[in-house]
Chains A and B, each alone.
Chain A
Amino acid sequence: MNEARILIEVKDLCKYFDVKGGRKLHAVDRVNLTIPAGKTLGVVGESGCGKSTLGRTMLRLLEPTSGQILFEGKDITKARKSEMRQLRSKMQIIFQDPYSSINPHMTVSDIIMQPMIVNRLFHSREEMVARVKKLMDTVGLADRLYNAYPHELDGGRRQRIGVARALALNPEFIVCDEPVSALDVSIQAQILNLLMDLQDQMGLAYMFITHDLSVVKHISDEIAVLYLGQCIERCGATELFRNPLHPYTKMLLAAIPVPNLSARTRELQVIHGEVTNPIDPPPGCRFAARCPYCRPECKEKDLPLREVNPGHFAACTLL
């Protein structure tokens, strides 16, 4: 099996936000990731774990505090504004909320056209219109919606507009920030299928951010589990569900209610204890305060991700 080309590599990426009193909120803390071209990295975690911040920092929509982001081997954290603008066309984002992510004052075609106008992709309007129509066809939006306003459409269709807008510049990498969380299950499946089809056709790499573990398993090749800004476990998608190593991952998996009666007698796993404050957090494992297996050394020093099994990384003193 030949290794796919590495498209994006993130090294020790940190994003701290200033809060009152000169303290720092560690939203993303020393995260390392790689995403091969044409593959999907799933990023899971609960609200407040920094997964959205990570996605936005990787696109430099937020300025990283430290660390490197290598896109095709080039460090984009040091790219100047003009260089960055060119790079942007290769990396796009799809948002969670189909209602707030598109401008209500523009028609469907206007929205999809904007990226092309901004980047002067075409010389004539005819070419651009043709491209918009083709994109609408690709994402499954009917031609008659060309001049429709977003508020006339349902959530699923709006999300398709978001996908078309992200595709407008022929990107190689798309950050999908909870793209299906706000949708009904039947619509959710439509969008997931669309995203997977597009990946097959265009060789896109995705970073798929979600809190829904069943969705992430379905779409990802590799999964990274985030807890309070740190990546605590990373491995292949099936491996993670078959053999979770970190205690937090285990609890997370056990907490999912399964639509299956055989799991009914099983006690839902309950995690006790308060979440550690992400503002100037103490050293050691971030999960220590809630971990039933916590030992004194867990609270002493930070533990980096370690390759426990081939291709399976986890950060825990137990392993």
Chain B
Amino acid sequence: MDEILLKIEDLFIEYQTELETVRAVNGVSLEVKSGRTLGIVGETGAGKTTTCLSILRLLPDRTGRVTGGNICFRDKNIYSLSEEEMRTQICGEKISMIFQDPMTSLNPVMTVGSQIYEALKYHNHENKTREELERRVDEVLELVGIPAERKTEYPHQFSGGMKQRVVIAIALACEPELLIADEPTTALDVTVQAQVLAMMRDLQKKVGSAILLITHDLGVVAQMCDDALVMYAGEIVESGSIEDIFTPGSHHPYTMGLFGAIPDLDSAVDRLTPIEGLMPDPTKLPDGCYFADRCPYAEELCKQIHPTRTSLSGTHTILCHRFSEGLKEVSHE
């Protein structure tokens, strides 16, 4: 079952402008297994969205550039495919993407039904008839919990949560093997978020797609994902199964910082412990650990030498000097 669907190895991405080079992604490696959900957590500018865009080769043409590494989907290197193969075989067919803002992802002058129909028609390899496709439109809408008779309505007639459902319906119309969801519920209210998340979870059971879920909300990760990774300044600082990340024990200082910065509903804390300082400027990343400036445990070593990835258990890896060879006995809490 746990077949590797998407494999990213040592990915580097730069944005080049006339004046500077932004190093957005710096050596990201990850695997998405079929039928599982991988969560990517991180703050603005961590490189989450850039990583995802590069999977579908959607980086801005003129500035964004993959400078190293491979992205393989089912052992096929995405960057060795032609534009045509990419469009007809991968995008929307095997891999679909949902963006953050449902308001801008839909065409305001097309009915939602015809937008789903378009997606189906474009990937209609079995030459299904119009009736068959229309039936599939109804099916997909019902699947995301929208009555099929609403397919003749326009996006503005739907509420925010319903629009996001339509977006998901379009993404799922061709039953993709991998669904990339970039902050799918950030623009939604909590109650609506709950609906959409519950629906995505149900759909995964029915369709069996793998999901790559990008979010800044640790709560969403805890509820939705099987595996998770934490990104900071274009790097994966910690990765592992959901248990690895969420159970107390050895963690990257940044992961601990993230948990400390969110108010806890169950216990009353007088003060939050924010992570002081700011993310390093991606145009001039330091030599040492990127987090060293903000890290409460940073030592001289951290500021000079970039840490290497250390495996703590079969699934759990950390990018931090404190857990490197020889220092392994250092632990906390």
Contact = CB atoms under 8 A, between A and B. Distances in A.
Contacts of B247: 261
B273 to A, nearest CB: 7
A306 to B, nearest CB: 24
Interface residues of A, number: 42
Contacts of A238: 268
Task: Please name the 6 residue pairs, one residue from A and one from B, whose CB atoms are nearest each other, closest first.
Answer: A257-B219, A189-B274, A218-B263, A259-B218, A189-B261, A255-B194
29 contacts: A46-B191, A184-B44, A185-B216, A185-B261, A186-B43, A186-B258, A190-B274, A190-B276, A192-B263, A193-B272, A214-B264, A252-B190, A255-B191, A256-B190, A256-B265, A257-B194, A257-B217, A257-B219, A257-B223, A258-B222, A258-B266, A259-B262, A260-B222, A264-B222, A267-B198, A268-B194, A270-B195, A271-B191, A274-B159
Given A186-B275, A252-B191, A256-B190, A215 B263 contact: yes
A267 B217 CA distance: 18
Contacts of A187: 274
Interface string B32-62: 0000000000011000000000000000000
B153 interface: no
A64 B43 CA distance: 39
B197 A268 contact: yes
A255 B190 contact: yes
Nearest to A192: B272
A269 interface: yes
Contacts of B190: 46, 211, 213, 252, 255-256
Contacts of B258: 185-186
Q: Give the interface SS of chain A, mostly helix, strand, loop or mixed.
A: helix
A123 B216 CA distance: 48
Number of chain B interface residues as a range: 35 or more
A255 B263 contact: no
Given A46-B190, A259-B259, A213 B265 contact: yes
Nearest to A47: B189
B193 interface: yes
Contacts of A259: 217-219, 221-222, 246, 259, 262
Given A46-B189, A186-B43, A213-B190, A257 B220 contact: yes
B223 A264 contact: yes
Contacts of B269: 218
B330 interface: no
Contacts of A196: 271
A188 interface: yes
A259 B217 CA distance: 8
A217 interface: yes
Contacts of B265: 213-214, 217, 241, 256, 258
A319 interface: no
Nearest to B276: A190
Contact of A260 (B224, B246, B273): B246
B223 to A, nearest CB: 4
B118 interface: no
A186 B257 CA distance: 7
Contacts of B159: 274-275
